[in-house]
């Protein structure tokens, strides 16, 4: 038997990332014959506690003032202490938020295990943990056989299936004595945004360099996104050009998204872009070039100048209410 721990941030609630991480942890625990344990860093809502308790053998909420807002050293020490209390752990899973990305290698070091980032699949085979992730900018997949346990990973949780509710487990609150952090956060700037985040969007309308400038994002794609109840994204070329904010970027060095529908407009489909949106349930594209790589990944596409498609499509959708 070997156990699996999923570490979540209480502030994030029971979002798609939490559901996907818990689902992956549950399937992994079933294959190792161990238990799924969920640790929340910071207070968690009732929905999050209930969601976790429905699928995990144990849920620990580390609830203390130092964890009310993310502080890397406090979060790391709390995660280390909570994980150390769960014996025989083979895998510790995190979601794919930036805090998790920061903590994973440091926690692996402290627990004497090994770590891997941006994992798209994880299985256990005869006591060996195998983790899969893309390589060469998305051109190949590689499988890593992890030698030291616990294996600490952050996974593309939003693209992963949620857990199946089970018998339900224990739930307890804990607080640890934490060292005074060496690092002080003097200010926090929260980017205000309306509606769901790019990562949590069910529909994304994304634009690329072929749009020719920021005006098309504002004048045409914004209207289409509103009509489709979608969130706007972009390729790196459009972000680097300063047409849209950097946090709209989807791809290898941007956001990893997995919406129901990803509409790529005037985006060529470079491997680095595909790496961020290839998990989308359905991909559609509008592009003037019939040989654009994006079409190889599309469920459907239109070979056309976006100007001839976006405005009539928006009008049609608006007329349908």
User: Which residue lies nearer to ligand FAD by CB, 42 or 210?
Assistant: 210
Residue 10 lies near ligand FAD (rule: CB under 6 A) = no
User: Which residue lies nearer to ligand FAD by CB, 125 or 315?
Assistant: 315
Range in contact with ligand FAD (rule: CB under 6 A) among 49-57, 148-156, 186-194, 251-259: 251-259
Asked if 280 and 251 count as a contact pair (C-beta separation under 8 A), the reply is: no
Residue 235 lies near ligand FAD (rule: CB under 6 A) = yes
Range in contact with ligand FAD (rule: CB under 6 A) among 99-107, 113-121, 143-151, 250-258: 250-258
Residue 305 lies near ligand FAD (rule: CB under 6 A) = yes
User: Which residue lies nearer to ligand FAD by CB, 139 or 148?
Assistant: 139
Least separation in angstroms between residue 68's CB and ligand FAD is 32
Least separation in angstroms between residue 190's CB and ligand FAD is 23
Least separation in angstroms between residue 113's CB and ligand FAD is 28
Residue 237 lies near ligand FAD (rule: CB under 6 A) = yes
Range in contact with ligand FAD (rule: CB under 6 A) among 36-44, 64-72, 188-196, 202-210: 202-210
Residue 318 lies near ligand FAD (rule: CB under 6 A) = no
Range in contact with ligand FAD (rule: CB under 6 A) among 118-126, 152-160, 184-192, 208-216: 208-216
Least separation in angstroms between residue 246's CB and ligand FAD is 10
Q: Dihedral sign for Cα 117, 131, 277, 160, please.
A: negative
User: Which residue lies nearer to ligand FAD by CB, 69 or 304?
Assistant: 304
Residue 254 lies near ligand FAD (rule: CB under 6 A) = yes
Contact pick of 14, 306, 313, 314 for ligand FAD (by CB under 6 A) = 306
The mark string for 162-201 relative to ligand FAD (x by CB under 6 A, - otherwise) is ----------------------------------------
Q: What is the 3-state secondary structure (H, E, C) of the chain?
A: CCEEEEEEEHHHCCCHHHHHHHHHHHHHHHHHCCCEEEEEECCCCHHHHHHHHHHCCEEEEECCHHHCCCCHHHHHHHHHHHHHCCCCEEEEEECCCHHHHHHHHHHHHHHCCEEEEEECEEEEECCEEEEEEEEHHHCEEEEEEECCCCEEEEECHHHCCCCCCCCCCEEEEECCCCCCCCCCCCCCCCCCCCCCCCCCCCEEEEECHHHCCHHHHHHHHHHHHHHCCCEEEECHHHHHCCCCCHHHEECCCCECCCCCEEEEECCCCCHHHHHHHCCCCEEEEEECCCCCHHHHHCCEEEECCHHHCHHHHHHHHHHCC
User: Which residue lies nearer to ligand FAD by CB, 151 or 264?
Assistant: 264
Residues in 255-294 at the binding interface with ligand FAD, rule: CB under 6 A: 266-268, 270, 272-273, 276, 286-289, 292
Least separation in angstroms between residue 294's CB and ligand FAD is 7
CA–CA distance, 153 with 151 (Å, rounded to integer): 6
Structure tokens at 12: 């994030």
Torsion of CA 59, 65, 70, 76, to 10 degrees: -60
First and final C-alpha spacing in the chain: 55
Binding site for ligand FAD (CB under 6 A): 208-210, 235-238, 249-254, 266-268, 270, 272-273, 276, 286-289, 292, 305-306
């Amino acid at each position: 038997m070997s156990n699996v721990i999923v570490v979540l941030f209480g502030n994030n609630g029971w979002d798609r990332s939490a559901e996907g991480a818990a689902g992956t942890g549950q399937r992994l625990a079933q294959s190792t014959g161990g238990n799924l344990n969920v640790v929340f860093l910071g207070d968690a809502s009732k929905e999050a506690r209930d969601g976790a308790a429905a699928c995990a053998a144990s849920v620990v909420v580390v609830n203390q003032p130092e964890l009310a807002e993310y502080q890397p050293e406090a979060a790391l020490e709390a995660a280390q202490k909570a994980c150390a209390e769960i014996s025989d752990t083979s895998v510790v899973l995190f979601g794919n938020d930036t805090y998790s990305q920061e903590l994973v290698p440091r926690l692996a070091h402290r627990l004497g295990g090994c770590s891997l980032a941006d994992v798209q699949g994880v299985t256990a085979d005869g006591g060996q943990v195998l983790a899969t992730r893309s390589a060469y900018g998305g051109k190949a997949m590689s499988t890593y056989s992890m030698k030291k346990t616990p294996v600490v990973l952050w996974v593309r949780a939003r693209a992963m299936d949620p857990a199946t509710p089970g018998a339900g487990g224990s739930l307890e609150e804990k607080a640890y004595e934490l060292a005074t952090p060496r690092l002080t956060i003097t200010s926090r700037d929260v980017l205000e945004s309306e509606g769901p985040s790019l990562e949590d969007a069910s529909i994304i309308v994304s634009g690329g360099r072929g749009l020719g400038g920021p005006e098309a994002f504002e004048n045409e794609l914004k209207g289409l996104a509103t009509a489709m109840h979608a969130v706007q994204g972009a390729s790196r070329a459009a972000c680097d050009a300063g047409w849209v904010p950097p946090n709209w970027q989807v791809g290898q060095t941007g956001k990893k998204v997995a919406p129901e529908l990803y509409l790529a407009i005037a985006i060529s489909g470079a491997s680095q872009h595909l790496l961020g949106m290839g998990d989308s349930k359905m991909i559609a594209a509008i592009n003037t070039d019939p040989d654009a790589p994006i079409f190889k990944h599309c469920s459907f596409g239109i070979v056309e100048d976006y100007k001839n498609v976006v405005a009539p499509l928006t009008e049609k959708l608006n007329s349908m209410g």
